[in-house]
Amino acid sequence: MVDSSSLSTRFTLHQLEAFVWTARLGTVHAAARHLHLTQPAISHRIRDLEEELGIQLFERQSQRLLVTELGRNVLVYAERVLASAQDMARLDLRRTITGLVRMGVDESCAIIGMPQILKEIKDSYPALRVDLTVGGGAQLLQKINSHELDMALHTGQSSQPDVTSQFIGLTEHQWVAAHDLMMPDGDFLPAHALNHRIVCNAPPSTLHESASRWLASDGYSFEEYSSCNSLSLMVALVASGHAIAMLPASITRRQVAEKSLQVLRAKPAVPNVPYYFSYLAHHRSDTTARILEIVLRNLQDAGFFHADGSSRDSGRG
């Protein structure tokens, strides 16, 4: 039991935040990257919170930290406190964040996170209108460079001086095939891929570039493929056994779990792809920051990013 006499207001929101994100991400290292802090700072805050509460919050298992039984009780309340603090911080912003935001997202983000992201934006800032454009990364990059969009979520990085491209995580690409499609045992090599019909986005696209580079790593070229501009249709075509494809892992996770798709053990491994939040540098900073906060929280909760790519570094393209 937690001694109620110790529950003075001596513990802080920063301590609760360190505890919650370490619990969510499983390591102090990941929590530190997410919160833009050092690992010692996170460890210190958790240790201080444990001393204030008089309990152990974590136990180590292999390379991860697991929340203890008492810690799980604390976690419920800590998340409520942080959510209430965020709601309080938004009280004025609900009235001051208004107008129209022209927002572009690629299809993988649209499939995985946009319904919840748009709902949270509407609930948090009812006077803010979002005009959504879904397109390929190259198309979105062109639109934000020409100021047709105010912000975009995509795999591209702008080189325009008036557009800021902030790295927000890594996305994972995988070769997939129908679960019952007979494939060679062991590693899946570029030579194996050319024995099957391949479905892929047409260039210029990130998927086409990723697949081309992977084939070229073993001296092969991407000569014949079925062109498709819909990731959802590509998933269906692969699941039906019509073709194989390289696809974002986030949009095939359910089909792999249901065993309608199998992940092929690609050799060489397919590199993870950087993902960016690009925005016009002159756009309202408060609006941009609040939308980015909502986007990151929902995409992370949905498992959109690769586990080792949740850090956020900002940079100008």
Q: Is residue 244 part of a domain?
A: yes
Over residues 107-112, mean pLDDT: 95
Q: Is residue 304 part of a domain?
A: yes
Question: How far apart, in whole angstroms, are the C-alpha atoms of residue 125 and residue 91?
Answer: 9
pLDDT (tens digit per residue) in 135-179: 988 899 999 999 999 999 999 888 889 999 999 999 999 999 999
239 and 188 fall within a common domain: yes
Q: Is 173 exposed, middle or buried (0-12, 13-18, 19+ CB in 10 A)?
A: buried
Q: Which of 88, 105, 122 is the last residue of a domain?
A: 88
142 and 280 fall within a common domain: yes
CA distances from 263 to 172, 183, 302 (A): 12, 11, 19
Q: Say what percent of the chain tops pLDDT 90.
A: 63
pTM of the model: 0.68
Pairing of the two strands 226-227 and 199-200 = parallel
Q: What is the pLDDT of residue 308?
A: 59
Q: What is the pLDDT of residue 2?
A: 46
Question: How far apart, in whole angstroms, are the C-alpha atoms of residue 135 and residue 115?
Answer: 16
103 and 165 fall within a common domain: yes
State phi, psi for 73 to the nearest 5 degrees.
-65, -45
Q: Which of 42, 72, 88 is the last residue of a domain?
A: 88
Question: How far apart, in whole angstroms, are the C-alpha atoms of residue 201 and residue 199?
Answer: 7
Q: Is residue 38 part of a domain?
A: yes
206 and 220 fall within a common domain: yes
H or E segment at 47? helix 39-53
> Residue 307 sits in which domain range?
93-169+274-315
Average pLDDT for the chain? 88
CATH number of the CATH domain containing 180: 3.40.190.290
Both tokens assigned to 243 = 């073709």
178 and 219 fall within a common domain: yes
Asked whether the predicted pLDDT for residue 85 surpasses 90, the reply is no
Over residues 46-75, mean pLDDT: 90
Over residues 5-29, mean pLDDT: 81
112 and 254 fall within a common domain: no
pLDDT (tens digit per residue) in 248-263: 999 999 999 999 999 9
Closest CA to 291 of 280, 304, 307: 280
Both tokens assigned to 200 = 């892929």
70 and 203 fall within a common domain: no
CATH number of the CATH domain containing 76: 1.10.10.10
Q: Is residue 142 part of a domain?
A: yes
Q: Is residue 269 part of a domain?
A: no
- Confidence at 221, pLDDT banded by 50, 70, 90: confident
Q: Which of 47, 72, 88 is the last residue of a domain?
A: 88
- Confidence at 5, pLDDT banded by 50, 70, 90: very low
Lowest mean per-residue pLDDT among 143-147, 199-203, 231-235, 312-316: 312-316
Both tokens assigned to 97 = 């964040």
Q: Is residue 32 part of a domain?
A: yes
Q: Is residue 16 part of a domain?
A: yes
Closest CA to 156 of 134, 141, 145, 170: 141
Asked whether the predicted pLDDT for residue 87 surpasses 90, the reply is no
Q: What is the pLDDT of residue 310?
A: 44
H or E segment at 129? strand 128-134
Q: Say what percent of the chain tops pLDDT 70.
A: 91
Over residues 277-297, mean pLDDT: 86
- Domain total of the chain: 3
195 and 57 fall within a common domain: no
Closest CA to 78 of 46, 33, 102, 122: 46
Both tokens assigned to 227 = 């062109």
Closest CA to 140 of 201, 198, 204, 62: 204
63 and 115 fall within a common domain: no
